[in-house]
Structure 1
Amino acid sequence: MADQNGKILYIFDLDGTLADTAPDLMATLDYVMIREGFAATPMQDARSLLGAGARALIQRALRQQGAEVGVEREDAMFRLFLAHYESRIADASRLYPGVEAALDQLERAGGFFAVCTNKIERPAKLLLEKLGVAQRFAFICGQDTFGVAKPDPTPLLRTIAAAGGDPARAIMVGDSKTDIATAKAAGVPVIAVDFGYTDRPVQEFSPDRVISHFSELSAAADRLLG
Structure 2
Amino acid sequence: MTGFPFTLVGFDMDGTLLDTSGDLAAAVNHALASAGRAELTVDQIKPMIGGGARHMLAQGMARTGGCDEAELDLLHRRLLDYYEAHMTVLTAPYPGALAALDALADMGVTVAVVTNKLEGYAVTVLDALGLTDRFATVIGGDTLGPGRGKPAPDPILEMIRRCEGDVATTAFIGDSVYDVRSAKAAGVPVIGCSFGFLDRPAADLGADAVIDGYDELLAALRRLGRGV
Look up the SS of the partner of 1:191 in the other structure: strand
In structure 2, how many angstroms separate the alpha carbons of the residues matched to 1:224 and 1:87? 40
Q: Does 1:114 align with 2:82?
A: no
CA 1:7/1:183 → structure 2, altered by over 3 Å: closer, same or farther? closer
CA shift digits 1:183-219 (9 cap, x unpaired)? 1111100011110011211211231111111111111
In structure 2, how many angstroms separate the alpha carbons of the residues matched to 1:164 and 1:210? 27
Alignment of 1:100-179 (within 5 A): 100-147=98-145, 148-179=148-179
Q: Residue 49 of structure 2 aligns with which residue?
A: 50
When the two structures are superposed, what TM-score results if normalisation uses the length of structure 2?
0.92
In structure 2, how many angstroms separate the alpha carbons of the residues matched to 1:132 and 1:199? 29
CA shift digits 1:87-112 (9 cap, x unpaired)? 11010011000111101111111211
Mapped contact 1:7–1:111 kept (Cα < 8 A) = yes
Look up the SS of the partner of 1:164 in the other structure: coil
Letter in 2 for 1:123: Y
Give the aligned CA root-mean-square deviation in angstroms.
1.4
CA shift digits 1:128-157 (9 cap, x unpaired)? 111211111111011100012110111111
Mapped contact 1:9–1:171 kept (Cα < 8 A) = yes
Residue 34 of structure 1: how far off its partner (Å)? 0.6
Mapped contact 1:20–1:96 kept (Cα < 8 A) = yes
In structure 2, how many angstroms separate the alpha carbons of the residues matched to 1:219 and 1:78? 40
Q: Does 1:8 align with 2:1?
A: no
Mapped contact 1:7–1:110 kept (Cα < 8 A) = no
Q: What runs of 5+ residues in structure 1 fail to find an aligned partner? A: 1-5
Identity of aligned residues (%): 39
Q: Residue 3 of structure 1 aligns with which residue?
A: none
Residue 47 of structure 1: how far off its partner (Å)? 2.7
Look up the SS of the partner of 2:112 in the other structure: strand
Letter in 2 for 1:125: V
Mapped contact 2:111–2:134 kept (Cα < 8 A) = yes
Letter in 1 for 2:171: I
Q: Residue 207 of structure 1 aligns with which residue?
A: 207
Residue 79 of structure 1: how far off its partner (Å)? 2.0
When the two structures are superposed, what TM-score results if normalisation uses the length of structure 1?
0.93
In structure 2, how many angstroms separate the alpha carbons of the residues matched to 1:77 and 1:46? 16
Mapped contact 1:26–1:43 kept (Cα < 8 A) = yes
Q: Residue 59 of structure 1 aligns with which residue?
A: 58
Residue 7 of structure 1: how far off its partner (Å)? 6.2
Greater CA deviation, 179-188 or 44-53?
Answer: 44-53
CA shift digits 1:21-76 (9 cap, x unpaired)? 000000011111111222211222123211111000110011112221233x3222
Mapped contact 2:6–2:225 kept (Cα < 8 A) = no
Q: Residue 182 of structure 2 aligns with which residue?
A: 182
Letter in 1 for 2:35: E
Look up the SS of the partner of 1:114 in the other structure: strand
Greater CA deviation, 117-126 or 156-165?
Answer: 156-165
Residue 119 of structure 1: how far off its partner (Å)? 0.5
Alignment of 1:73-92 (within 5 A): 73-92=71-90
In structure 2, how many angstroms separate the alpha carbons of the residues matched to 1:158 and 1:181? 15
Task: Show structure 1 runs of 4+ deviating over 3 A.
Answer: none
Greater CA deviation, 39-48 or 104-113?
Answer: 39-48
